Chains A and B, each alone.
Chain A
Amino acid sequence: MSESTFANDDAGDSENALKYFNQIQDHLLIEQNVRERLAEYLTKLDQIDRKIQAVIQKLHRNPVQSVVYETCNVIREECKQTIEIYRGINNCLEGFHYYQFHDVWKFVTQRLSSAACLCVYLESGQLASHETAAEMLGISTKQDGFFLDLEDYLHGLLSLASELARLAVNFVVSGDYKRPQSISDFLCSLNSGFRLLQLKNDALRRRFDGLKYDVKKVEEVIYDLSIRGLIKK
């Protein structure tokens, strides 16, 4: 008979039952506790994410060179703030597992990674590697400590594709007919890259299915520009 839970033969054992269930509840409360502490850090990350989103909207409104420059500066500045926050999150996880609470920071990290990659693209036309994106957020890619989950980074890239597709349209609106072409090339490369991944039927796969619409959107922009002789193909 289990001494640590309760026996069912006499009514007086409901006390034992209560004691045992209190132990179980303590287990749950420990995890609850960690989530509450993580929630505070999440709020800070959300604030940074909102600031970055605001500056990206400004970029869409008027994507001239000076605004592009300012956008990248803001993104880099805000990302510097995330270093402390991720360190705080890592400390909360002491004695626990990364993936136990991954769902807490998953979505906001995807958006921040996407912003970091946007910044690198706007500055250099290149794809920020997994390591680069992680570095900008002040975290690593190695799984011995706090890291940028690979799938989160890939989700971020797919968001980036949508953002750039929209930006291509807005570049044209602002009279820049050259940048859409490089965006088109970039999205095509991303598309071939993603096709190399043998994705199963999961969230990443469903998100990836949307990439072809972004590619198509930019191709239409290029088509509109080239038949009017606004760009040389």
Chain B
Amino acid sequence: FIIYIRMDVTSITEHFQSFSEKLCSMQDKYERIVKLSRDVTIESKRIIFTLHRVGSVDSDEDLLSNVESRMKQVYSNLKRIADELKGDDPYRYTRAYSPGLQEFVEAISFQYYIKNKSLISYDEIKESLTFHCDADEIVTLLIPITDYILGLADLTGELMRSCINESGESQPEISNEIRRFILTVYEFFQYVNGLESCSRTDFGNKLNVMKQSLCKVEKACYTLKIRESEFSSGATIT
């Protein structure tokens, strides 16, 4: 047992220098991904803002083509994240781009709902995050299912806003569609509430917000129904 050996200082320095290189390259990559994620967030928010204007004063075609081109920008940033992650364990960096992903899910599922009146599936989103590069190379961006679910929660908020705007124009069918849609998503959230993967995220918070959105939409549908009986215009709510 050697107790008082003079410790080797140079080797400690060497060790830490190599640690420094490894850590720096990981941290720089993390920073780059955070920046790309922020760009995705900003662009997605603009898309959502534009989508809210669909069906009102401006020409739908212009709006939707504007959305398309912004969406291309979003995808190009998501692809750059995927490129950064090539060869790495993507889960090391999921916290870096999770906010961007959730905003993206919100935007694309909103766009999808407006077009198809239904919910874009997790598989469809995953597929859209598979990028084909030149030379037959395929690069995929990992989207954890929790980001899909949380993005969905945000979608219900946007639909609620859209419904409240519609109510002003007395479109009871649309409001009721949204009500049923949000209700279905809410039921699902109740279903998975308590699963561990969800509890380590913003899940509980978003569930509360969704409940409030749901109540607002129910109230809006209620108001329309009452109004329908006041003006016997023949308009019905199913």
Contact = CB atoms under 8 A, between A and B. Distances in A.
B89 A5 contact: no
B20 A197 contact: yes
A100 B93 CA distance: 10
B184 interface: yes
A193 B89 contact: no
Interface stretch (B47-55, B57-65, B99-107, B112-120): B112-120
Interface stretch (B3-11, B75-83, B130-138, B226-234): B3-11
A4 B7 CA distance: 65
Interface in A183-233: 185-186, 189-190, 192-194, 196-200
Interface residue SS majority, chain A: helix
The B contact surface, by secondary structure, is helix
Contacts of B116: 1-2, 7
A150 interface: yes
A7 B187 CA distance: 16
Most chain A beta-carbon contacts within 10 A, residue among B2, B94, B197: B197
Nearest to B120: A2
A6 B118 CA distance: 6
B1 A21 contact: no
B200 to A, nearest CB: 8
Contacts, number: 144
Interface of B: 1-9, 11-13, 15-17, 19-20, 22-24, 27, 89-92, 94, 112, 116-124, 145, 148-149, 177, 180-181, 184, 187-188, 191-192, 195-198
21 contacts: A1-B118, A2-B116, A2-B120, A2-B121, A5-B118, A5-B120, A7-B116, A8-B177, A11-B180, A14-B184, A24-B145, A24-B148, A25-B192, A29-B195, A31-B197, A98-B91, A99-B92, A129-B15, A151-B23, A182-B3, A189-B12
The 6 closest A-B pairs by CB, nearest first: A193-B16, A99-B91, A21-B188, A5-B119, A125-B5, A100-B91
Given A5-B118, A8-B118, A21-B187, 20 more contacts: A1-B118, A2-B116, A2-B120, A2-B124, A7-B117, A8-B181, A9-B177, A14-B184, A20-B119, A25-B191, A25-B192, A97-B89, A125-B2, A125-B5, A125-B7, A127-B8, A130-B19, A192-B13, A196-B13, A198-B27
